[in-house]
Amino acid sequence: MSVGFHHGFSHSFPLRVYYEDTDAAGMVYHANYLKFAERGRSEMLRSMGFPHRQLAATDGVGFAVRRCLVEYLLPARLEDALVVDTTLVDVGAATLSLGQRIRRGEELLADLAVLVACVGRDGRPRRLPSALRAALTSEAPHAP
């Protein structure tokens, strides 16, 4: 249905490394992989028809990162063409658990496990909007 969103809930988002992303060690600054991952999550939601601005306008909710584990395997460098693969691991009442991989072609550079919470304008936990939940669960792989 949605562009860039595949069976088994994996979404891929390409990006380019610019000077702003690098540091004096000549590679991508470690915190910036979290920015790349967040772009991937935002584009996954957009590809499903739920950009952040719409979720805020229609449901009054957004997402806040609760927990993030990053393993850095290989450095990315200036002008590398990277891909952020995002896989849905679990859908809770008010949370999403995601696996994300940042790669350069077939080389895995960083591996992330991210837990995000659905929150209201006051920052408190809120149930996932039902339309989003339906979209997330309907696209899941079917039992045979």
Kindly list the catalytic residues.
Answer: 23
1, 12, 19, 140 from 7: Cα distances, Å:
10, 12, 35, 7
For residue 138, give both structure tokens. Answer: 């309907």
Smallest distance from its own copies to CB 134, Å: 22
Among 4, 10, 12, 34, binds its own copies (CB under 8 A): 34
Among 6, 30, 90, 93, binds its own copies (CB under 8 A): 30
Among 12, 66, 99, 104, binds its own copies (CB under 8 A): 66
Smallest distance from its own copies to CB 143, Å: 33
**29 belongs to the binding site for its own copies (CB under 8 A):** yes
**122 belongs to the binding site for its own copies (CB under 8 A):** no
Residue 122: half-sphere exposure toward Cβ, Cα within 13 Å: 3
19, 25, 48, 117, 121 from 63: Cα distances, Å:
28, 32, 15, 5, 10
**120 belongs to the binding site for its own copies (CB under 8 A):** no
Cα-Cα-Cα-Cα dihedral sign, residues 11, 125, 128, 90: positive
- Span 42-61, contacts to its own copies by CB under 8 A: 42-43, 46, 51-53
Which of 66, 44, 65, 67 lies closest to 132 in space, CA to CA? 44
Dist. CA 75–CA 10, nearest whole Å: 23
Q: Which residues bind its own copies (CB under 8 A)?
A: 16, 18-20, 22-27, 29-32, 34-35, 38-39, 42-43, 46, 51-53, 62, 64-72, 75, 77-79, 123
